[in-house]
Structure 1
């Protein structure tokens, strides 16, 4: 029984370590430039899948570059809550 507890504790510590390192990695990823990113990259943003990514590209090609995160609400289906979730993960260089 003692060996089973040790194994459980080791497995738990490994799981926690992997989880924490994943969270740390996620925080160090470079922001995505909304004005130049392709559909695949845009789809990685929280709340943005392939169809919204395509809509972002269509919007920027039709109506010009985005200047800030709030401009993303020009895209149908992207509201303030979605913008807030991705605000620190996007840039807007032209």
Structure 2
């Protein structure tokens, strides 16, 4: 009985930790370091995203990002969203969140790498 309960608790903890390890990086607020943290975005692509965002404002959605940043087609943006990139308020990645008020609920905290960096939202 005790072993069964212990294994059930361990399985639940593992499933919960996998789900809460995912942290979306918002393309409209992330700095270069946060963007490079997404698998598939290197220094050059991060710079291109930041330059375009600074020159023409925030991205409205995934298709806007794809149209405005050279080398980022629709399939590339979809793959990056699956890796944790969030684009706009309606992004699929932005919808992933921990349950509110739970014992292990995650809040958002603004983090800045330098004084000139844009804030990045990171789960606690």
TM-score with structure 2 length normalisation? 0.49
1: CA distance, partners of 2:71 / 2:87: 20
2: CA distance, partners of 1:46 / 1:91: 16
TM-score with structure 1 length normalisation? 0.63
**Which residue of structure 2 aligns with residue 66 of structure 1?**
59
**Which residue of structure 2 aligns with residue 57 of structure 1?**
50
Please give the root-mean-square deviation of Cα atoms over the aligned residues, in Å.
Answer: 2.4
Segments of 5+ residues of structure 2 without an aligned counterpart are: 1-13, 90-124
**Structure 1 segments (4+ residues) deviating >3 Å:** none
2: CA distance, partners of 1:29 / 1:86: 13
Structure that is richer in strand per residue: 2
Single out whichever of 55-64 and 69-78 deviates more from structure 2: 69-78
2: CA distance, partners of 1:44 / 1:81: 19
Segments of 5+ residues of structure 1 without an aligned counterpart are: 1-19
**Which residue of structure 2 aligns with residue 81 of structure 1?**
75
* CA gap 1:46/1:72 in 2 versus in 1, 3 angstroms: farther
What is the deviation of 1:60? 0.5
Please say if residues 67 and 92 of structure 1, whose CA atoms lie closer than 8 Å, have aligned partners that are also in contact: yes
Please say if residues 53 and 59 of structure 2, whose CA atoms lie closer than 8 Å, have aligned partners that are also in contact: yes
How many residues end up aligned between the 2 structures? 72
SS in 2 for 1:46: coil
Structure that is richer in helix per residue: 1
What is the deviation of 1:47? 2.1
What is the deviation of 1:42? 0.6
Single out whichever of 40-49 and 52-61 deviates more from structure 2: 40-49
